[in-house]
Amino acid sequence: MPSQRWYQAFPDLTLFTTVKAYMVQAHNRAAVCWLDSLSLSDSELLKAAGILAKESAPVVVLSATPSESQAFSVLSTGVKGYCHAESVPEQFVEVAQAVASGGYWVPPELVQ
């Protein structure tokens, strides 16, 4: 279930429940693809992240329990951003701006 914070950051948010549904609906794709890792196993997350990173807009993985190892794993698939799923709406907007303009976004503690 999407967080209220997601809708505060992106009022016109379109949700897809599968990678296939996202890929089929090209006309509904946003400038950034947000991948919620909550309902995926680690292997499913890496597979989905890799497919989306190769075929779509820049991908940001949202994690309910962010970790350094998960961040580096998903970034190695081509993902452009990684953040906590319950970040404040302003941070979601900042992340979207960074990756949509060709950059990367990870929590500051991972950069160190």
pLDDT at 109 > cutoff 90: no
Q: Is residue 83 packed enough to be buried (19+ CB in 10 Å), middle (13-18) or exposed (0-12)?
A: buried
What mean pLDDT, rounded, does the chain reach?
87
Q: Which of 19-28, 68-77, 95-104 has the lowest mean pLDDT?
A: 19-28
Q: Is residue 32 packed enough to be buried (19+ CB in 10 Å), middle (13-18) or exposed (0-12)?
A: buried
pLDDT at 23 > cutoff 70: yes
pLDDT at 26 > cutoff 80: no
Residue of 60 and 1 predicted with greater confidence: 60
- pLDDT at 6 (0 to 100): 84
CA gap 100, 80 in Å, rounded: 9
pLDDT at 32 > cutoff 90: no
CA gap 5, 87 in Å, rounded: 8
Cβ atoms within 10 Å of 68's Cβ, excluding its own: 12
Nearest to 79 by CA among 25, 9, 110: 110
Q: What is the pLDDT of residues 58-82, one digit of tens each?
A: 899 999 999 999 999 999 999 999 9
The overall pTM is greater than 0.85: yes
Q: What is the percent of the chain with per-residue pLDDT over 90, rounded to a whole number?
A: 48
